[in-house]
Chain A
Amino acid sequence: MSYTPPSDPVNKVTNKTIKISQLCELCHSRKAVIKRPKNLQKICKLCFFHVFETEIHNTIVTNNLFYKGERVAVGASGGKDSTVLAHMLKYLNEKYNYGIEIVLLSIDEGIVGYRDDSLATVKRNQQQYQLPLEIVSFKELYNWTMDEIVATAGIRNSCTYCGVFRRQALDRGAEKLGIHHVITGHNADDMAETVLMNILRGDVARLEKSTAIITKSKGSPIKRSKPFKYSYQKEIVLYAHFKKLDYFSTECTYAPEAFRGTAREFMKNLESVRPSCIIDIIQSGENLVLKQKKVHTNGQQNSNKVAGGFVDGNRCTKCGYLSSNDICKACILLEGLERNRPSITLDNDSSVDGAARVMRQLEHMSF
């Protein structure tokens, strides 16, 4: 699959003259092409690039995301957010001399017809941006591909498995590279969705953590950061569109995460009424600080147990990965899977590949 960039309609010469009200509100000289959701400002393409890049630079600097000489891994899926992220970090690193070394880190979940295509995009990105690329696969880490997991455990819980394993795989991949900082392309829309989801679920423990720009578990050598925390999805997509970045855009073959889907739809509808709501929700999320619960000191209680039931710095007794319980989530899931693994397999059995696609086709069938 190769990349065909979208068309580039040059400002068409029409007999219509541009009205003053159509001019960019920043430079007052070019035609505005975008209305910023954040503040409803109408600006031209060049001013948009400048403002958008500068805002991300400011987020990076004010939060001290990097130090000189740091090696960082960009979680690259080939999708719009991570593609813009890789492009942006490389650009800003050169422009403002952060002095960081960027590596692309991709996870191959083993989803035929989806991840193989998006990995092809990442490989093209690697060429386009001249950055090193490391691919870590579920198969080598867990001896399961997502296709096999879905064939065994069904499609319903696919996102649970994928989410748990991918999170861990990113850390393991970074560790393999000797990198202690993973950067992800989570944007403002994702943030706001997560805040809403945690409120709707009543997940108090996660609510406070969910808006942090840098997250790090106690005892973990790896920190994570989200430089796009305040960047609107719309602007990220338009940036990619105007810059003609090569990104992959297909929904995962396995049913999109249902609950997040609901929250996303809700958010999109809110946004169409009042675009600033996304940043407002993040702001609210940041300011929601819970009163510290009284820690009961019965002697039995673990001393580093904090309100909400998280135990930080604990390790899984099976794999040694950080875990809030004795056995980490991934190991619990794996155990369940192993119990259900078919004991006999057919040679050259390809029915597992793309099981989701078959499911999807079946869903669309009607009598």
Chain B
Amino acid sequence: MVKVKVEFLGGLDVIFNKERVHKVEVPQEDPVTLKDLLDYIIDNMIANKNDVPVFIENDTVRPGIITLINDTDWELEGELEYELQDGDIISFTSTLHGG
């Protein structure tokens, strides 16, 4: 099991009950990867299932949403394969809105 903080920024919070910051415990044997976290979010946190495509596309985070692991671009951390550690902060920031 791993305890992390998940943030939905850039307007993404609308599909998560308008809550930007969530404390999440992924109830799963170590190692827990970012992919596992995404599955957990899809299954347990998105209030309306019709909203899943807002967040996910082709089994990964939708292009245009920036994923940061402890403020580091997830591309530098192995993306879906990254193994979560207790206290990690994962943030998802949408850029898909007007400026």
Residues in A lying within 8 Å of B, measured CB to CB: 4, 6-9, 11-12, 14, 22, 31-35, 42, 45, 77, 79-82, 185-187, 189-190, 233-234, 236-238, 241-242, 249-252, 256, 264-265, 268-269, 271-272, 364
Tell me whether A249 and B85 are in contact (CB under 8 A). Answer: no
Is the CB–CB distance between A31 and B72 below 8 Å? yes
Contact of A33 with B76 in the complex, beta carbons under 8 Å = yes
- CB of A80 within 8 A of CB of B87, answer no
* Contact-size category for B: 20 to 34
- Other A-B pairs, 10, CB within 8 Å; known A34-B73, A79-B98: A7-B89, A77-B99, A80-B10, A80-B95, A233-B99, A241-B91, A249-B94, A249-B97, A251-B98, A364-B48
Q: How far is the CB of B59 from chain A (nearest CB, A)?
A: 13
Can you list 5 A-B contacts (CB < 8 A)?
A: A9-B70, A79-B98, A79-B99, A238-B73, A268-B62
Q: Are A251 and B11 in contact (CB under 8 A)?
A: yes
B99 contacts A82, CB within 8 Å?
Answer: yes
The answer to whether A237 touches B97 (Cβ under 8 A) is: no
Does chain A have a CB within 8 A of B26? no
Q: How many A-B residue pairs have CB under 8 A?
A: 96
In the complex, B93 has a CB within 8 A of chain A = yes
Roughly how many angstroms separate A187 CA and B48 CA in the complex, as a whole number?
A: 32
Q: How far is the CB of B74 from chain A (nearest CB, A)?
A: 9
A265, B63: Cα distance in complex, Å: 8
* B99 adjacent to A14 (CB under 8 Å): no
B1 close to chain A: CB less than 8 A? no
User: B9 to A6, Cβ gap below 8 A?
Assistant: yes
Q: Are B76 and A251 in contact (CB under 8 A)?
A: no
Q: Are B9 and A241 in contact (CB under 8 A)?
A: yes
A230–B70 alpha-carbon span in the complex (Å): 27
> Of residues B14, B76, B95, B98, which shows the largest number of chain A Cβ atoms within 10 Å of its Cβ?
B98
CA distance A105 to B87 in the complex (A): 42
In the A-B complex, the 5 residue pairs with the closest CB atoms: A81-B99, A268-B63, A249-B11, A79-B99, A268-B64
B window 9-64: CB within 8 A of A: 9-11, 14, 20-21, 48, 50, 62-64
Shortest beta-carbon distance from A164 to chain B in Å: 16
Asked whether, in the complex, the Cβ of A35 is within 8 Å of the Cβ of B97, the reply is: no
Determine if A250 and B66 form an interchain contact, defined as CB atoms under 8 angstroms apart. no
| Contact B98 A234, beta carbon cutoff 8 Å | no
Q: Contacts A35-B75, A42-B76, A250-B14; is A6 near B94 (CB within 8 Å)?
A: no
